[in-house]
Amino acid sequence: MGSTPPEAESLARAAARARLDHLWQRGRDFLGCRVAILGGAMSWLSERHLVTAISNAGGFGMIACGAMTPALLDTEIAETAKQTRQPFGVNLITMHPVLEALIDVCLRHRVSHVALAGGLPPASAIARLKHGGAKVIAFAPALAIARRLVRNGVDALVIEGMEAGGHIGPVSTAVLAQEILPEITDVPVFVAGGIGRGDAIAMFLEAGASGVQMGTRFVCATECVAHPNFKKAFIRGAARDAVPSVQLDERFPVIPVRALANKGTQRFMETQRSVIDRFNRGELTQQAAQLEIEHFWAGALRRAAIDGDVENGSVMAGQSIGLVNREQPVAEIIAELVGQAVDVLARRGETAVPARAAAG
């Protein structure tokens, strides 16, 4: 059999691109951008440079507020707005002690989209943001919570599987997608966790997603301020290297965090053992022991991501790290992802032609 004529191939790709645009049209309309790819909010990294690059390349950048003060967030939003005329959003942690003041900052800057992460967002926070003109995005780790969030008025959901980097839940992306996408249709739903190629984007869009959220894939973007050592660790890393933190004793819960195993993770295990032994000997109260375990990683992400201490800091990374193999500009990464999605949709279109012909 001969190869596909160039004209036919060009038509197939044009049809596939139209199909892709149709699949994520709802997500594009909601975000107000060309490509329904949300930048995952990564503390210390999702700041003005990376956010601007993602938005300018057609995606949707999200500032990671993390532990920022209102004054710092105010500056970050203002500096980002100077660098892009495209829409971008802000990710706020619901447990932040001055959440209301951070919401004030977002509303004062007329931020178009605000994500409330790190726990079930208060209904009052959702209402304040919506009343102020912002669209509210929330994270749903289960169908029941997704339904509750929709009832509380959120405008869109992100469902993030355990393959993601940083703080994770117990359920995989594929299972969450099967559980939630068929049931939640009132609002756009974005899928996250372990996504590193356009093929996967197309798969989730065809399953009903309005778009995706990606973080790990953008760590090695040229515009990302991550330390060169941090980026090198990502380029060298394989999927199996990104593992969740381990809890040794149910009396002392550890919120699972997916990161690259290093000397720091080994010392964390040793610290847990030591603290538990001291508690068992009566040298520590349960509260003091819990605090000592929780404080082990204080500042660890900054040490790795910004200072470059990838042996002792926390190298938070999703399992899609195995798909990160070089440093690239954000625009190139997004173009590559879109091209891969178009390729897979075009191949499916080509294989469907004989079946349609036979049916005729």
Residues of the chain with CATH 3.20.20.70: 6-227+324-348
Kindly report, residue by residue over 205-251, the tens digit of the pLDDT: 999 999 999 999 999 999 999 999 999 999 999 999 999 999 999 99
**pTM for the whole thing?**
0.92
Tell me what pLDDT residue 321 has.
97
Res. 259 pLDDT band, cuts 50 70 90: very high
Given a contact cutoff of 8 angstroms between Cβ atoms, the answer to whether 83 and 111 are in contact is: no
Kindly report, residue by residue over 110-157, the tens digit of the pLDDT: 999 999 998 899 999 999 999 999 999 999 999 999 999 999 999 999
Tell me what pLDDT residue 32 has.
98
CATH number of 6-227+324-348: 3.20.20.70
Beta bridge mates, 212: 37, 191
Three-state secondary structure call for residue 259: strand
**Residue 358 in this model has a pLDDT that exceeds 50:** no
**Residue 104 in this model has a pLDDT that exceeds 50:** yes
Phi-psi region of 153 (alpha: psi -120 to 50; beta: other; left: phi over 0): left
- Give percent of the chain above pLDDT 90: 88
Separation in Å, CA 90 to CA 138, 139, 214, 221, 243 = 12, 14, 15, 20, 27
How much is the average pLDDT of 67-82? 97
Residues, the chain: 360
Tell me what pLDDT residue 149 has.
97
**Residue 359 in this model has a pLDDT that exceeds 60:** no
Task: Tell how strand 166-167 and strand 257-260 pair up.
Answer: antiparallel
How much is the average pLDDT of 96-100? 95
Kindly report, residue by residue over 337-347, the tens digit of the pLDDT: 999 999 999 99
Q: Is the dihedral of CA 53, 55, 59, 60 positive or negative?
A: positive
Beta bridge mates, 258: 166, 244
Three-state secondary structure call for residue 137: strand
**Residue 298 in this model has a pLDDT that exceeds 90:** no
CA distance 204 to 213: 11
Q: Which helix (H) or strand (E) holds 127?
A: helix 123-131
Residue 156, token pair as written in the block = 């869109």
How much is the average pLDDT of 258-273? 94
Kindly report, residue by residue over 164-196, the tens digit of the pLDDT: 999 999 999 999 999 999 999 999 999 999 999
Res. 4 pLDDT band, cuts 50 70 90: low
**Residue 45 in this model has a pLDDT that exceeds 60:** yes
Q: Residues 6 or more apart from 125 whose CB is under 8 A from it?
A: 94, 99, 100, 103, 116
What is the maximum alpha-carbon separation in the chain? Answer: 81
